[in-house]
Amino acid sequence: MRHFAGLFMRLDQSNKTTDKIEALKEYFLSAEDEDRMWTIALFTHRRPKRQVNTRLLREWCCEWSGIPDWLFEESYQTVGDLAETISLLLPVTDGQQDFSLSYWIRYLMDLSKLDEGAKKEKILQAWQMMTKEERFIFIKLMTGGFRIGVSQNLITQAVADAFDLEKTEIAHRIMGDWNPQSVSFQDLILSKKQSDDLSRPYPFFLAYPLEKELSTYGDLNDWQVEWKWDGIRGQIIQRDGQVFIWSRGEELVTEKFPELATMALELPSGTVLDGEILTFSEGKPLPFSLLQTRIGRKTLSKKILQEAPVSFMAYDILEQSGIDLRQNPIKERRMILDTLVNTIDNSRLIISPLVEANNWDDLLTLQGESRIRMAEGFMLKKSDSPYEVGRKKGSWWKWKIEPLTIDGVLLYAQKGHGRRADLYTDYTLAVWEGEKLIPFAKAYSGLTDEEIREVDKYVKQNTLEKFGPVRTVKPAMVFEIAFEGIQESPRHKSGIALRFPRIQRWRKDKPIEEANTLEDLKSLLSVYGK
């Protein structure tokens, strides 16, 4: 655990990719095999289940520390992170334990068999043996709140560098359905004789946002242009009569989309398709909000299946008859895909239509139709490009339309987490309805560090009321909020929900009286919310 805690602190203290890769590489070269497996699992979102209620952890911390509940709560509001608060408040001990990460994960998993009293005894015993940093990690693992700014791409690169392997090979191996309790590091990562995993998807190829003037990208005829659809990126796999549907977030979602699973049985064995899962009806996509009604459900009722029907908008074919096609040019893969979709002739499988234009100016005009088509803009793909791994610059670009915007007034503020735990960085914005301000969106990003400190100072000096961690602020600040979509929502006081809201700029030039109104929001809803 000490070794892993040291890695966590090194990763948390640097924003440089090279530093993080070096820290990970050193760790993987020196850690025990079982700890290596659990480290990969934790950094790829395979975490042990929560075994202890956080309320109990707070109680046990107060009891051992000898502090009242109100002081714990004040500390928590200042720090902003439960695990860090507890680790700071617990009495200091020598921290003599030297057990491995995998030992402590098994320790936590074994708590499921115990009653509350026995759990308390085991947790206090563990805390007594640990340093402050080790307790922090232990509590994060215990509560399911383990997060760190390390992408799966960095993990892949570090493991590949450490063991002199191909990055693409490692990326392929750590995807799919595996369990750190039942597979060894040798078998999953180092073995040259990997068993054929029918369910395993390919690493996704991701595009960068368009960076330069359109004319600098050469002849438009050298590019394959498609609409950028607003759904769930996924891969459909059919191997040996078995179907697996994976999201880009590496979640197996086959059961959430039974109609797609049924359609995929019609595909030839050894087929892997890349595309977008969309709610789709009568030849056109439906709002993303409908798709969201299916995502979080454990069971899908007949009503949900009828109200939110899905189709798979295929972008690419990555495997045919068990043969990896990714190095073939996309223009060749497109012809294979087109033949396949026409052969299957199933309304649940659609090929992403190509966008035809004479020149870049014409394409720019067409982009204005994106929202009406329920699209986010265009994808530009070089006609001779292979299907690569991860996010690469050069052959694939995403050209998104400009976001919608609305000017809102800062009404409520709450402290952030982690490094911003003592700053008010989480904001609720409001628009006018007559003489009242109506909350319509929350925003957590978009300001510079200097601006955040300025807003934080204002919040602390102009608080009107406190509701737990939330402060009501004297209305005086206007911010331009950018967002990708808008829809009706009975759960929100404004009756409207925004998709991906963020602060685009601080409107210091605008008094609060000139902020937008609820009617302005409803006007946007009438145009773009259908």
3-state secondary structure 450-469: HHHHHHHHHHHHCEEEEECC
Average pLDDT over residues 122-137: 89
Residue 7 inside a domain? The answer is yes
pLDDT digits 0-9 by tens, 342-377:
999 999 999 999 999 999 989 888 888 888 888 888
Domain extent for 516: 404-528
- Alpha carbon separation from 403 to 188, 301, 370, 482 (Å, rounded): 43, 34, 11, 6
Residue 238 inside a domain? The answer is yes
Same domain, 246 and 360: yes
pLDDT digits 0-9 by tens, 450-465:
999 999 999 999 999 9
Is residue 460 within 8 A of residue 472, CB to CB? The reply is no
Measured on CA atoms in the order 356, 361, 362, 368, is the torsion positive or negative?
A: positive
Inform me whether the pLDDT recorded for 193 exceeds 60.
no
* The pLDDT of residue 411: 95
Same domain, 213 and 325: yes
* The pLDDT of residue 419: 63
Q: Distance between CA 51 and CA 142 in Å, rounded? A: 7
Residue 188 inside a domain? The answer is no
Average pLDDT over residues 47-56: 82
Inform me whether the pLDDT recorded for 268 exceeds 90.
yes
Mean pLDDT score of the chain: 87
Same domain, 337 and 291: yes
Closest CA to 422 of 446, 452, 466: 452
Q: Distance between CA 428 and CA 438 in Å, rounded? A: 10
Same domain, 120 and 6: yes
Same domain, 376 and 394: yes
Based on the structure, what is the number of domains in the chain? Answer: 3
| In the chain, % of residues over pLDDT 90 | 40
* The pLDDT of residue 407: 95
* The pLDDT of residue 298: 66
Same domain, 379 and 466: no
State the pTM of this model.
0.61
pLDDT digits 0-9 by tens, 53-98:
889 999 999 999 999 999 998 888 777 778 888 999 999 887 777 8
Same domain, 137 and 216: no
Inform me whether the pLDDT recorded for 174 exceeds 90.
no
Q: Which of 117, 143, 169 is the last residue of a domain?
A: 143
Same domain, 287 and 419: no
Q: In a 10 Å sphere around its CB, with 0-12 CB exposed, 13-18 middle and 19+ buried, how is residue 252 labelled?
A: middle
pLDDT digits 0-9 by tens, 272-283:
999 999 998 888
Q: Which of 400, 435, 459 is the last residue of a domain?
A: 400
Q: Which two tokens stand for residue 523?
A: 């006007």
CA atoms within 13 A on the CB side of 313: 23
* The pLDDT of residue 196: 47
* The pLDDT of residue 195: 41
The two beta strands, 396-400 and 208-209, are parallel
Residue 196 inside a domain? The answer is no
Q: Distance between CA 439 and CA 409 in Å, rounded? A: 9
Same domain, 420 and 375: no
Inform me whether the pLDDT recorded for 197 exceeds 70.
no
Q: Predicted confidence band at 176 (pLDDT cuts at 50, 70, 90)?
A: low
Average pLDDT over residues 110-125: 90
Beta bridge partners of 225: 380
Strand spans (E) along 230-364: 232-239, 242-247, 271-281, 284-285, 310-320, 323-324, 349-351
Closest CA to 469 of 406, 423, 527: 423
Radius of gyration of the chain (CA): 26
Average pLDDT over residues 196-202: 75
Same domain, 244 and 387: yes
Same domain, 443 and 514: yes
Average pLDDT over residues 466-492: 86
* The pLDDT of residue 494: 86
| Choice among 259-268, 309-318, 420-429 with the minimum mean pLDDT | 420-429
Q: Which of 143, 166, 184 is the last residue of a domain?
A: 143
End-to-end CA distance of the chain: 52
* The pLDDT of residue 188: 84
DSSP 321: T
* The pLDDT of residue 143: 82
pLDDT digits 0-9 by tens, 215-256:
888 889 999 999 999 899 999 999 999 898 888 876 778 888
Same domain, 93 and 209: no
Beta bridge partners of 58: none
Q: In a 10 Å sphere around its CB, with 0-12 CB exposed, 13-18 middle and 19+ buried, how is residue 260 labelled?
A: buried
